[in-house]
Protein backbone atom coordinates (compact mmCIF):
# COMPACT_ATOMS: atom_id res chain seq x y z
CA UNK A 1 0.00 0.00 0.00
CA UNK A 2 0.84 3.65 0.00
CA UNK A 3 1.49 5.59 3.18
CA UNK A 4 2.85 9.09 3.62
CA UNK A 5 3.29 10.68 7.04
CA UNK A 6 3.94 14.30 7.94
CA UNK A 7 3.23 16.35 11.06
CA UNK A 8 -0.22 17.88 11.21
CA UNK A 9 0.76 21.32 12.47
CA UNK A 10 3.88 23.38 13.11
CA UNK A 11 4.47 26.87 14.44
CA UNK A 12 7.52 29.01 13.76
CA UNK A 13 8.63 32.61 14.15
CA UNK A 14 9.08 35.14 11.38
CA UNK A 15 12.72 35.20 10.22
CA UNK A 16 13.47 31.73 11.58
CA UNK A 17 14.10 28.41 9.83
CA UNK A 18 11.64 25.51 9.88
CA UNK A 19 12.00 21.92 8.70
CA UNK A 20 8.93 19.91 7.69
CA UNK A 21 9.52 16.17 7.59
CA UNK A 22 7.85 13.55 5.43
CA UNK A 23 8.24 9.77 5.56
CA UNK A 24 6.79 7.45 2.96
CA UNK A 25 6.23 3.79 2.17
CA UNK A 26 5.05 3.33 -1.39
CA UNK A 27 5.06 0.63 -4.04
CA UNK A 28 7.72 1.98 -6.37
CA UNK A 29 9.26 5.42 -6.36
CA UNK A 30 9.56 7.91 -9.18
CA UNK A 31 9.92 11.20 -7.46
CA UNK A 32 8.76 13.22 -4.48
CA UNK A 33 7.01 16.57 -4.75
CA UNK A 34 6.34 19.34 -2.26
CA UNK A 35 3.39 21.65 -2.79
CA UNK A 36 2.28 24.77 -0.91
CA UNK A 37 -1.42 25.34 -0.38
CA UNK A 38 -2.85 28.53 1.10
CA UNK A 39 -6.28 28.23 2.65
CA UNK A 40 -8.97 28.05 -0.01
CA UNK A 41 -6.49 28.00 -2.88
CA UNK A 42 -4.99 25.43 -5.23
CA UNK A 43 -1.77 23.62 -4.33
CA UNK A 44 1.22 25.22 -6.04
CA UNK A 45 4.39 23.33 -6.95
CA UNK A 46 7.46 24.01 -4.78
CA UNK A 47 10.05 21.32 -5.40
CA UNK A 48 10.85 17.92 -6.84
CA UNK A 49 13.41 15.29 -5.75
CA UNK A 50 14.13 11.98 -7.42
CA UNK A 51 17.78 11.46 -6.45
CA UNK A 52 19.21 11.51 -2.94
CA UNK A 53 20.40 14.86 -1.72
CA UNK A 54 19.43 18.46 -1.35
CA UNK A 55 17.70 20.64 -3.94
CA UNK A 56 17.88 24.35 -3.19
CA UNK A 57 15.58 26.96 -4.65
CA UNK A 58 15.85 30.35 -3.02
CA UNK A 59 14.51 30.30 0.52
CA UNK A 60 13.18 26.77 0.05
CA UNK A 61 15.22 23.55 -0.01
CA UNK A 62 14.12 19.94 -0.19
CA UNK A 63 16.05 16.85 0.80
CA UNK A 64 15.53 13.20 -0.11
CA UNK A 65 16.87 9.92 1.20
CA UNK A 66 15.39 7.06 -0.81
CA UNK A 67 16.93 4.34 1.37
CA UNK A 68 15.20 5.81 4.43
CA UNK A 69 11.95 6.76 2.69
CA UNK A 70 12.43 10.26 4.04
CA UNK A 71 12.25 13.82 2.81
CA UNK A 72 12.18 17.25 4.37
CA UNK A 73 11.29 20.73 3.22
CA UNK A 74 13.41 23.50 4.70
CA UNK A 75 12.09 27.04 4.75
CA UNK A 76 14.56 29.81 5.62
CA UNK A 77 13.99 33.46 6.59
CA UNK A 78 10.35 32.75 7.27
CA UNK A 79 7.82 35.35 6.21
CA UNK A 80 4.23 35.76 7.32
CA UNK A 81 3.07 34.81 3.82
CA UNK A 82 4.65 31.38 4.32
CA UNK A 83 1.74 30.48 6.61
CA UNK A 84 0.10 27.70 4.59
CA UNK A 85 -0.23 23.94 4.34
CA UNK A 86 2.71 22.05 2.88
CA UNK A 87 1.89 18.83 1.06
CA UNK A 88 4.32 15.98 0.50
CA UNK A 89 3.44 13.76 -2.48
CA UNK A 90 5.07 10.70 -4.03
CA UNK A 91 4.81 9.40 -7.56
CA UNK A 92 5.04 5.64 -7.43
CA UNK A 93 5.06 3.26 -10.33
CA UNK A 94 6.09 5.05 -13.51
CA UNK A 95 4.20 2.71 -15.81
CA UNK A 96 0.53 3.40 -16.20
CA UNK A 97 -0.59 5.20 -13.09
CA UNK A 98 1.01 8.62 -12.88
CA UNK A 99 -1.11 9.94 -10.05
CA UNK A 100 0.49 11.28 -6.90
CA UNK A 101 -0.10 9.93 -3.42
CA UNK A 102 -0.38 12.80 -0.97
CA UNK A 103 0.21 13.10 2.72
CA UNK A 104 -2.40 14.91 4.80
CA UNK A 105 -0.35 18.09 4.78
CA UNK A 106 1.43 20.12 7.45
CA UNK A 107 -0.22 23.36 8.45
CA UNK A 108 2.49 25.92 9.20
CA UNK A 109 1.68 28.99 11.24
CA UNK A 110 4.28 31.77 11.11
CA UNK A 111 4.06 34.12 14.08
CA UNK A 112 5.53 37.65 14.37
Partner 1 sequence: GAGVSQSPSNKVTEKGKDVELRCDPISGHTALYWYRQSLGQGLEFLIYFQGNSAPDKSGLPSDRFSAERTGGSVSTLTIQRTQQEDSAVYLCASSIPGLGVTDTQYFGPGTRLTVL
| Residues at the interface with partner 1 (CB under 8 A) | 4, 31, 33, 35, 41-45, 48, 50, 87, 89, 91, 96-105
Distance CA 94, CA 25 (A): 16
Beta carbon of residue 16, minimum distance to partner 1 (angstroms, whole number): 26
Beta carbon of residue 14, minimum distance to partner 1 (angstroms, whole number): 26
Q: In what order do the strands lie in the sheet with 18-25?
A: 3-5, 18-25, 70-75, 60-65, 53-57
Task: Give residues with Cβ within 8 angstroms of 10, minimum separation 6.
Answer: 18, 20, 106, 107, 108, 109
Distance CA 21, CA 34 (A): 11
Beta carbon of residue 26, minimum distance to partner 1 (angstroms, whole number): 13
Q: Which is nearer to partner 1, 59 or 97 (CB)?
A: 97
Beta carbon of residue 11, minimum distance to partner 1 (angstroms, whole number): 18
Q: Which is nearer to partner 1, 16 or 57 (CB)?
A: 57
Q: Which is nearer to partner 1, 48 or 60 (CB)?
A: 48
Task: Give residues with Cβ within 8 angstroms of 41, minimum separation 6.
Answer: none
Q: Which is nearer to partner 1, 17 or 99 (CB)?
A: 99
Amino acid sequence: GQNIDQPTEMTATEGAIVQINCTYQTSGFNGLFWYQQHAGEAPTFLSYNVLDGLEEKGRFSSFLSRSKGYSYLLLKELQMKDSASYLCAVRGDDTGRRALTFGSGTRLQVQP
